[in-house]
Amino acid sequence: WAQDCQVANIKVIFDFWTWYAVGKKDPEGLFLLDNVIAQINIEEDGRMTATAQGRVIILNNWEMCAHMFATFEDTADPAKFKMRYWGAANYLQTGNDDHWVIDTDYDNYAVHYSCRQVDSDGTCLDGYSFIFSRHPTGLRPEDQLAVYQKKLELCLLGKYRRVAHTGGL
């Protein structure tokens, strides 16, 4: 470890930096397509909130940039949250999903998981998962093994697609 006594350099777990979605396993009724970025915020009262944006297609073929908001509720497990979300416009999706942080080093990558419907055998029938990076260009080579391992443990290996960041939103 290394000590750095500069107050400005003290690392906190949550911050206002951007996370770029670089991989996604889609749920049924796919919503966010690409150019997906998310920001986790801590409000003055200590509550965690988030904003996200991404390209969506609604009403069959209307393409737009969705601006989304979310609030989080704690559960007994500190890495498992409930996420209530809604859009800046009322024709965007709303919902209340699980929001599980499977793995993160905070600085480079994060693996998110949400099962919307658990099957009778206890496996996930419908869910989605995001791979986030701090880098719009994707995961660093040194983070790829950890992310691969988590995809495997989540039984989602091979189910992800790449999320492009083409800008222009």
Task: Give the interface with ligand ODT as residue ranges (CB under 6 A).
Answer: 26-27, 30-32, 38, 50, 52, 68-70, 85, 99, 112, 128, 130
Nearer to ligand ODT, 85 or 109 (CB): 85
Nearer to ligand ODT, 130 or 143 (CB): 130
Nearer to ligand ODT, 4 or 17 (CB): 17
The minimum distance between CB 67 and ligand ODT, in angstroms, equals 9
Q: What DSSP letter does each residue of the chain carry, written as one string? A: ------GGG---SS-S-EEEEEEEE--SS----EEEEEEEEE-TTS-EEEEEEEEEEETTTEEEEEEEEEEEEE-SSTTEEEEEEEESSTTS--EEEEEEEEEE-SSSEEEEEEEEEE-TTSSEEEEEEEEEESSTT---GGGHHHHHHHHHHTT-TT--EE-------
Nearer to ligand ODT, 56 or 143 (CB): 56
The minimum distance between CB 4 and ligand ODT, in angstroms, equals 28
Nearer to ligand ODT, 40 or 143 (CB): 40
Asked if 20 and 132 touch (Cβ cutoff 8 Å), the reply is yes
The minimum distance between CB 8 and ligand ODT, in angstroms, equals 26
The minimum distance between CB 128 and ligand ODT, in angstroms, equals 5
The minimum distance between CB 69 and ligand ODT, in angstroms, equals 6
